[in-house]
């Protein structure tokens, strides 16, 4: 590993460290060390990083702002690539915007609302990065990324960089082709929006942010929604009706504010969270015959 770190350092790709605790990089504040942690300072340096990783046959995965992730206490084998401030550019051209994968989704929604552009109001308050949002087709309030994405520029692990159209992304509920068929890093995305009433758009963004603040426990470390909604039913509603709100295992607790959130109430391990997830699955299936599927991505060593 020292040889690889030296090689990356010589290339000056950005921040490089060994055995970096991923609890420092996830919104749930849970996660063991990454063997190798890299935060490239530009898209060019991301490409250089991937070249080194491929040359040395190192397993890898990318993260953005660490939301929607539950990382094993035993950490992650290989390299973790974080798309951070070095990959966070924004270009606005009329109703079309091009934005880097590391850009904050909340910040993007706020900035374009002030330009009088409509279509991303649903993203007000959604934590995470643009790349992560495209990767999982993030959505809320009856809309999602698939409604506005024109194309996404993706870096695949074989080194190929390719623009994928909306159709090629194969979006469905909270998923895309990057989850189901071919892993890759969303370097940038192009969205098409519409001109609208700036005041109305800004107020809707604020309303969506306030709704999340009032109904979801973002004052505590959490990963966002834990379960996919088993439509037409809603995960949070089923969990509440089953009397599970407030139930805890170790330091992990089902939020009393929203049933589809598990919070780190203090010193929670990934094993605590996994045990609580399984308890919810078992209880909901026993009571209602509904199989719950996780929306949060569970990664790392078993």
* Residue keyed to tokens 């609580």: 276
Give the C-alpha distances (Å, rounded to integers) separating 18 from 8, 42, 66, 182, 247: 12, 20, 18, 27, 36
295 is catalytic: yes
* Residue keyed to tokens 């060593």: 301
Closest Cα partner for 185 from 164, 200, 207, 203?
164
d(CA 112, CA 98): 12
Give the C-alpha distances (Å, rounded to integers) separating 276 from 215, 226, 237, 268, 288: 21, 11, 17, 11, 18
Please, are residues 277 and 270 in contact by the beta-carbon 8 Å criterion?
Answer: no
91 is catalytic: no
| Given 225, 255, 269, 270, the catalytic residue | 225
**126 - beta bridge partners?**
none
| Given 20, 39, 188, 295, the catalytic residue | 295
| Given 65, 153, 174, 212, the catalytic residue | 174
Q: Before 216, cis peptide (omega within 30)? A: no
74 is catalytic: no
Q: Taking the chain, what is the end-to-end CA distance rounded to the nearest angstrom?
A: 22
Give the C-alpha distances (Å, rounded to integers) separating 27 from 22, 23, 113, 255: 10, 8, 25, 15
Point out the residues that are catalytic: 174, 225, 295
């Amino acid at each position: 590993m020292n040889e690889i770190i030296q090689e990356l350092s010589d290339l000056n790709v950005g921040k490089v460290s060994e055995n970096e605790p991923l609890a420092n990089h996830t919104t749930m504040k849970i996660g063991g060390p990454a063997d190798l942690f890299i935060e490239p300072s530009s898209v060019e340096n991301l490409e250089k990083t991937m070249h080194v990783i491929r040359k040395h046959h190192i397993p890898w995965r990318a993260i953005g702002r660490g939301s929607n992730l539950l990382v094993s206490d035993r950490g992650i084998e290989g390299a973790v690539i974080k798309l951070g401030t070095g990959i966070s550019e924004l270009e606005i051209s009329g109703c079309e915007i091009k934005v880097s994968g590391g850009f904050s989704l909340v910040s993007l929604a706020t900035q374009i609302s002030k330009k009088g552009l409509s279509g991303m109001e649903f993203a007000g308050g959604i934590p995470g990065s643009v790349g992560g949002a495209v990767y999982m087709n993030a959505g809320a309030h009856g809309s999602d990324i698939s409604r506005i994405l024109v194309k996404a520029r993706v870096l695949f692990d074989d080194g190929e960089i390719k623009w994928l159209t909306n159709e090629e992304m194969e979006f469905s509920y909270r998923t895309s082709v990057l989850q189901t068929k071919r892993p890759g890093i969303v370097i940038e995305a192009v969205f098409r929006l519409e001109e609208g009433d700036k005041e109305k758009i800004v107020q809707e963004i604020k309303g969506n942010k306030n709704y999340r603040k009032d109904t979801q426990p973002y004052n505590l470390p959490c990963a966002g929604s834990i379960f996919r909604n088993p439509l037409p039913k809603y995960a949070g509603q089923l969990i509440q009706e089953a009397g599970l709100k407030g139930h805890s295992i170790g330091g992990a607790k089902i939020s009393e504010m929203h049933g589809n959130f598990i919070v780190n109430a203090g010193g929670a391990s990934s094993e605590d969270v996994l045990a609580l997830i399984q308890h919810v699955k078992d209880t909901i299936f026993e009571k209602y015959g509904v199989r719950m599927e996780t929306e949060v991505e569970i990664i790392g060593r078993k």
